Structure 1
């Protein structure tokens, strides 16, 4: 669908279209739980004074995570990244930095930012840095527990970006380095380059690359098991300004391009240029905006047969008026069919001298333009791309754009979420207790969170969101290690590590099952939620899991919770804490087994019951229940039980916990009535005195002059009644973090302090979580 047609469709059917995405993606977009950044399961790494941890290389063979930052590369323990085992410094020289600033760049731009880290066949690492807008590459080794940067350096132009903040992509395949960046200082010559072997690049033409923002590159081994003798492909994902639409302003679209690994360029035309470069529009139809969403990151989930592999991509809007993000999935086979079987677009000049792009309806030259050299081409005597006819090369040189867009699986996004924009994605496939495989997506956001989401036959469930960094910084890189079962993230402020499955967060069988986490199951023998072992060695009779149906009816009935006895005196205020089972649960309070309805004296808070004024009738048994709905069923769990006893009725020797000293109840309007009359009289007196002094000239309004008669000053009015001073209310509450026993002190004036220094590690307040959860 063209943008104009889409705009017209939204104009006529906008409300209905918006409702379409509501059912598809937004229904399950509320995370069930939020994990704060000070959680024990999150491991951080950061060096003071070092920034931009934006390149990563997993060396599972060495047990290392290579982390590239500003002017340094760190070797971290893959299982605990807080342990630094090695490092190497790569600082820019003062001459290079001075040359960079002389060209108009800021000092912040003129450092050496490590942007590229790849492993070579011989075990060495290939590393590139911006080097003060003079890209440079070199070789790095790891021997004897030490990282060493070899003295031999190479020009990194066209391989590494000049600008440390510019989007780029690179991929090392069979000793060849594929890089998508710019070739010049100004960033005006974008290209897809292959280096370290036979060098090839794209043409500097708008119909090839038009102001692109490069995102990701992936290699697909399409030659494996291919009866047609096809070649392996390298796919490039990016966004660019569309050339095929006649808009008054620039319209950006998402693209996927691909080249053949054995491409050697043309003989006379397209010498040292790609002969297999084709591109197509990538569609992710989020229908709340007439403008297409733009791709931000792509992850390839690899199946044992490459034909069953799937691309997962995150998209964000190009309009600031839309705050949705989306995840779309694409079949590798469907993407390949667009290039091998689709139509071509061709530019046509019309009378107004504008260039229109229309579907090419003429006869295609043979072999098919942009195709890899397969068995059919070899039967024609075309053994390499150097043998391709000029007619074929001329066609692909001027018409690299395919006509059909690549559509997502099921024709719609897997996930649509409002709030913080998505930035990165990685995907894992998990075999659950029912024997089925489920796709788990870890999606980074621009405020330092990672969403853990699963799609159950079209039903999207966000199991939890994890705040990885103290600051609301974008997740710039995500890596997943199946070998260690860990997720690694990088940002401008540091790197983070978290396990793919932290089943210990679920404290009860009900909580474990309703989380619908395919990594976890409730172990009846051990009485705790544990990671699901391999099915080959699984004793299923002692495990409970129901990820698809969310059926917790087989959970054992929990033991009756003993009440916590507390004493009180009349006239005080009491706050009884109650931690919700999940963000999707509702809290219900009962008093003496009867539902408690909020009244003037009792107020049900989100995480507590606040009793403003106690009386003799306050005494009784209070029970807090968490009620969560899942798949049409409601599950109730008792979270807290209190027994409040009036102080005068407590017998000696009982195990009773006295309440902490409570402040006097707040002053009401009736209590202030004796003070209101003298205050009104005082106000009238002051008004009369003010008018008299203005009349006599003792006081002067702005712009007037005092006369000589206005000597002296009015006497000071009397002091206000000290009894009218507001009384601060202080209550001691348990901290929301169930992993510790610290208490916080809440003041009525709005100030909140926390007795736990660990809680202060998070400088990001929870409003970021609330904003992200508003669906």
Structure 2
């Protein structure tokens, strides 16, 4: 056998199992459900959302493009390309901006009501607005054939990542954004309409102090339920640096600001400025722990009674400036509570003592008040007619003394929520409504959480996008949720008991009117008798859990040092879950779950307690785990079967097989030289031609190495596979190695036929010579094994015993 043939055979024999092992661990788990996903080609940074609720067409603003999608038929229209000229992009780069930021990021899409869409983009740090013809889905052109554009300053931010919000009220655009290239000036303004009525906030830190705008809402009064003739109002939500707190660091606070739709500024004081701008602090505080969440990240507006503006509630996502751990909370504020605070006392800073105090007296008519029937009766039918003393007071006192306070509906650790949408459903056998929170995370997941009174239950956690794609929009439409990331869009149902595939999850969805039916093996709407009360705990117990409320099953987990173990715990209340565990620092919270890095001190019991309404922790844990650390010998055994040791073992066999193969080839040539030294090379070639081709292929393929045409020798009862327990003829073999040991595959060679004219030695002499050769080879193998044992990387993977080897 040629040396290269031996080497090829050994290499394939060793690598083939390794490739199979690698493929076995290559699996891709796909979450399959009622989700329709739509990806866009060459589209990135999808940010603006605009839905036509009559036709179901969704318009999307992205980088250098505007898209339209028919959500009903899942059809995509040709996109509108609106990019920046090359010379303008180069000019933007020369001003110190990156090439990526010097594109046109569409940040604003609003219907104008005349068959057009008003679209605004950053346009290489020079905001511009254009008009989209809905019927043709094209940008309107000027007479010279270029896009018809107008300045977008004050309507759209300069930078793609700047915080921004806008709302259309009666065909007029109201925005909250930056108004200069550097991003240091901030305005809340009426951005369109009559030029004389385009007003904005005063450039004062008392009005806006480094704000981060989050959301806005237009509240239109109902003519039938508005006896006082109150004006329509626009609300803005943002986080800013508080000037009323004199601390060693900047303190951020969430705010709500209000302006009136009919406000057109003052005559002398506050010209082209808001005369009705008032703001108040939002407080989202867990009264049980005293923890306050002070950074607002998103707001969703919801009317609890459709058609009644007074029933409007604002749901907000909050995080904490002071917490190192990821944590999110959801608080809700009613329009009634905000109005009450706006009608309360003003906050004032007395320069003499540097303390905030309530100013006295407040002039008449009340500063910041929207026009109503009473003011019009007094002759104040326009903000231009307000007295200077009222406007001066308004300019110096935009902040209210009282705060709008709320307790969290939900607090979760280890997660950052980015977007929020809310649906309401009547609770089963209860006067309270069930609030379903649809929360998007910064890791591309959608969480559904049901809130009934003080209790919150996690219904679903659905991965929609890769972890690198945060959810940046959630829009609810006809029982569907349209959810987007910067690169793609999905549609999935938001209502219906069929969303909950298991009995346990269906039992948690009982407040939504769902019940698990054993016959159908499905979750469906509950049909109950009048006055029947169904306890969710009893429903869960029917799914196979214990009826005893406190009989939590203890789960034993056998672990080894160095592993990372995730202990799950289901959160069932708006307040966070707490863990009791052995004193150690090798832990990390992931949502309500606990990740443990196993060390020598990890033995013990881990208990999860999810708080209810009261301050005290519940007596019964929601989950109990016992970690049992195995002995070092067991640990070593497990580690030897890990991937790293698996590869090291194959490396050992490969090197060992290569060495033995070379040794056998050398022994073969040495014996041939000893037996046939007096013959010429032509004689040797002649002798080789006499070998049967079926027994000694000159260039075997990789497939032939494992076929039945080449028999494998086996060692049985301490002898090589032969005839009568003896080795009949000299055999040259190659090494075949696997995890069980080493094998010699041999091909018979008759020396008498190969070298004619020479007398074949007797059986005893031949057996003695072969025994000497095998003994010499055995000594070499022992020496090689001792040398390999000294290598650090190959330790822990001992050679298998030859007697135990098998194919």
Q: Tell me, yes or no, whether TM beats 0.5.
A: yes
Match of residue 555 from structure 2: none
Q: In the alignment, does 2:208 pair up with 1:206?
A: no
The residue aligned with 2:6 is none
Aligned to 2:55: 62
Match of 1:171 in 2: 167
Q: Of the two structures, which has the highest relative contact order with CA contacts closer than 8 Å and spacing of 6 or more?
A: 1
C-alpha displacement of 1:509: 4.8
Report matched runs for 1:5-154 at 5 Å.
38-79=31-72, 81=74, 83-143=75-135, 146-150=137-141, 151-154=147-150
Whole-angstrom CA distance in 1 between matches of 2:635 and 2:257: 68
In structure 1, C-alpha distance between the alignment counterparts of 2:278 and 2:635, rounded to whole Å? 73
Q: 1:334 aligns with which of 318, 333, 337?
A: 337
Q: Greater CA deviation, 319-328 or 246-255? A: 319-328
- Select 2:527's aligned residue among 540, 550, 555: 540
**Aligned equivalents of 2:519, 2:52: Cα separation in 1:** 38
Query: Per-residue CA shift, 1:108-166, capped at 9, x if unaligned?
Result: 1001111111112223211111111111111112226x455553211000000000000
- Deviation digits for residues 200-235 of structure 1, max 9, x if unmatched? 111111111111000000112245412222111111
1:552-597 per-position Cα deviation (integer Å, ceiling 9, x unaligned)? 2897999xxxxxxxxxxxxxxxxxxxxx9x9649xxxxxxxxxxxx
Q: Which moved more, 1:328-337 or 1:44-53?
A: 44-53
Aligned residues: 542
- 1:529 maps to which residue? 523
Task: Give, in whole Å, the separation in 1 of the partners of 2:798 and 2:487.
Answer: 43
Residue 313 (1) aligns with residue 305 (2): no
1:719 aligns with 2:787: yes
What are the ranges of 5 or more consecutive residues in structure 2 without an aligned counterpart?
1-27, 142-146, 546-565, 572-592, 594-608, 613-617, 621-633, 641-782, 801-807
* Partner of residue 415, structure 2: 420
Deviates more, 1:209-218 or 1:242-251: 242-251
Deviation at 1:630, TM superposition (A): 14
Q: Could you tell me how far 1:633 is from its partner in structure 2?
A: 14
Q: Which has the higher helix share?
A: 2
Change (3 A) 1:547 1:66: farther
Query: Is the contact between residue 302 and residue 312 of structure 2 (CA under 8 Å) also seen in structure 1?
Result: yes
Distance of 1:423 and 1:203 partners within structure 2: 30
CA distance in 1, matches of 2:218, 2:134: 26
How far did 1:382 drift?
0.7
Mapping of residues 604-683 of structure 1, within 5 Å:
none
Using the size of structure 2 for normalisation, the TM-score is 0.61
Instruction: Quickly say closer, same or farther: Cα 1:398–1:235, change in 2 above 3 A.
Output: same
Return the alpha-carbon distance in structure 2 between the equivalents of residues 387 and 421 of structure 1: 48
Please name the residue that 1:343 is paired with: 345
Shift of 1:168: 0.4
Tell me the equivalent position of 2:725: none
Q: Report the equivalent of 1:31.
A: none
The 5 A counterparts of 1:288-437 are 292-302=293-303, 303-304=305-306, 305-319=308-322, 321-340=324-343, 342-350=344-352, 356=354, 358-408=356-406, 412-434=407-429, 437=433
Partner of 1:446: 442
- Choose from 163, 180, 194 the match for 1:184: 180
Find the partner of 2:151 among 150, 155, 163: 155
Larger radius of gyration: 2
In the alignment, which residue of structure 2 is the partner of 1:471? Answer: 467
Taking a change above 3 Å as real, the CA distance of residues 320 and 92 of structure 1, as seen in their structure-2 partners, is: farther
Q: Is the 8 A contact 1:516 1:550 kept in 2?
A: no
Matched-pair contact (CA < 8 Å) for 1:433–1:545: no
- Structure 1: runs of 5 or more not aligned: 1-34, 533-538, 559-579, 586-605, 607-627, 635-664, 672-714, 729-775
Q: Secondary structure at the match of 1:143?
A: coil
Change (3 A) 1:542 1:286: closer
Separation (CA, whole Å) in 1 of partners of 2:611 and 2:324: 33
State the alpha-carbon separation in 2 of the partners of residues 134 and 528 from structure 1. 56
SS of aligned partner of 1:96? helix
TM-score of the pair, normalised by structure 1: 0.64
Say if 1:391 and 1:726 are closer, same or farther in 2 by CA, change over 3 A.
farther
1:442 counterpart SS class: strand
Distance across 2 between alignment mates of 1:461 and 1:52: 33
Instruction: Determine the C-alpha separation between the residues in 1 that align with 2:797 and 2:530.
Output: 60
Counterpart of 2:277 in structure 1 is: 277
Check conservation: 1:64, 1:76, Cα contact below 8 A. yes
Aligned to 1:260: 260
Does the CA-based 8 Å contact 2:179-2:186 persist in structure 1? yes
Partner of 1:462 in structure 2? 458
**TM-aligned CA distance change 1:212 to 1:367, over 3 Å:** same
Native 8 Å contact 1:130 1:136 kept in 2: yes
